[in-house]
Amino acid sequence: MPKIDIETLKFILQRNEPDIRKIAGIMQEIELELKAEEEEKALRPPAVKKQNVLLVSDPDGSLKEKDIVGWIAQIPEDDDIRHYSWPHPQCRPRI
């Protein structure tokens, strides 16, 4: 959703609404909503940083002269890639 500067909004309201009390009430409601939104954002946990990994299927250990199949997975940045190696339960194909 597009954002608008509070002062610009106030200017638009003043230009279109002659009742200053009405404008003050609207601006007060906007300030309360912005404050509530900021408090909600402060309570959210930080976003998990991700890394991309390529998982390659090579059951017999010979990558030379063969076509291989791989998966690109996005995992949390701090996770150990060994937790996602086949046949880890989280990496089982879904049918």
pLDDT tens digits, 14-24: 888 888 899 89
User: By the 8 A CB rule, do 84 and 73 touch?
Assistant: yes
Reduce the DSSP state of residue 53 to 3 states and report it: strand
Look at the block and give the residue holding tokens 């309570």. Answer: 43
Domain ranges of the chain: 6-43, 50-91
Strands (DSSP E) contained in 1-95 are 50-57, 69-76
More confidently predicted of 78 and 66:
78
For residue 72, pLDDT beyond 80: no
Task: Read off the pTM.
Answer: 0.46
Q: What pLDDT does residue 69 have?
A: 67
CA 13 – CA 19 distance, rounded (Å): 10
For residue 5, pLDDT beyond 70: yes
For residue 29, pLDDT beyond 90: yes
User: By the 8 A CB rule, do 21 and 13 touch?
Assistant: no
| CB within 8 Å of 26: residues ≥ 6 apart | 13
